[in-house]
């Protein structure tokens, strides 16, 4: 029995938010993959200097308890164990001369390591 929840970006006020820049980048990466069955999965896993680390990857699976959020045609999936760590988090994409990649602004993180790879 699946307990998957689907919301729209506007309804995701207490969930994860994907900025317009990030959703455009994800859409471009999905177009390169040539598959329309993939979603961006955001997960929190044990590890890193501070105890927890983020994982962002494309996934075709639908797990029991997943929350699916649509942002301008891009689907973001969060599993039920990661959801409490990600409530209110904003995922953005930066492309600057000194830094490029996805960033996560998470109000639930009380601290992070010096390298910025993990949080607690």
Contact 45, 57 (CB under 8 A): no
- Proportion of the chain above pLDDT 90, given as a percent: 50
Specify the pTM: 0.78
With a cut of 90, say whether residue 76 has pLDDT above it. Answer: yes
Domain boundaries 5-107, corresponding CATH code: 2.60.300.12
- pLDDT mean over 96-111: 84
**Distance (Å, whole) CA 30 – CA 24:** 10
Question: Is the separation of the CB atoms in 72 and 9 below 8 Å?
Answer: yes
pLDDT greater at residue 118 or residue 9? 118
Q: Where are the domains of the chain?
A: 5-107
Q: What is the pLDDT of residue 110?
A: 74
């Amino acid at each position: 029995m699946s307990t998957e929840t689907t919301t729209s970006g506007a309804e995701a006020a207490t969930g994860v938010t994907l900025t317009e820049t990030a959703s455009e980048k994800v859409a471009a990466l999905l177009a390169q993959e040539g598959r329309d069955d993939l979603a961006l999965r955001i997960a929190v896993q044990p590890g890193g200097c501070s105890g927890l680390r983020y994982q962002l990857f494309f996934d075709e699976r639908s797990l029991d308890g997943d929350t699916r959020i649509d942002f301008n045609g891009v689907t973001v999936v969060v599993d039920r164990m990661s959801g409490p760590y990600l409530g209110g988090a904003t995922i953005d994409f930066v492309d600057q001369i000194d830094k490029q990649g996805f960033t996560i602004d998470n109000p639930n993180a009380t601290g992070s390591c010096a390298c910025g790879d993990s949080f607690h």
